[in-house]
Amino acid sequence: MLKLISLMKRKEGMTKEEFVRWATVDHAPFAREIPGLRKYVVNVAVADDAPFDAANEMWFDDEDARAAGFGSDSGKAAGADAAAHTSERIHLKTSEHPQF
């Protein structure tokens, strides 16, 4: 299983409240349409001075599934929507190693 963590900073001029609504309400339907996406979690930063406003988690079976998902029309639409609402995004590919 591959987990992609997407660190996102809201675009200039967007309030934190606007960003949270976008991330938790408006953007979620885009994620639902990405082929191969097994699980999607939005984590909103609590601190106002955090370096990123959200850290989203996306699970795929493997790298091929991730590439196919983001390469699809739905994946491209999700990426375009994210780009329109963020000033910075970092994608970190990870594998989980639960400890307890």
Give me the average pLDDT of each 10-residue run along the chain (100 residues). Answer: 97 96 96 97 95 97 98 98 97 94
The confidence score (pLDDT) of residue 79 equals: 96
∠ CA(46), CA(60), CA(63), 5° rounding?
115
Domain map (residue ranges) of the chain: 2-94
The confidence score (pLDDT) of residue 28 equals: 92
Find out if CATH 3.30.70.100 is the number for domain 2-94: yes
> By C-alpha distance, which of 30, 36, 43, 13 is closest to 82?
30
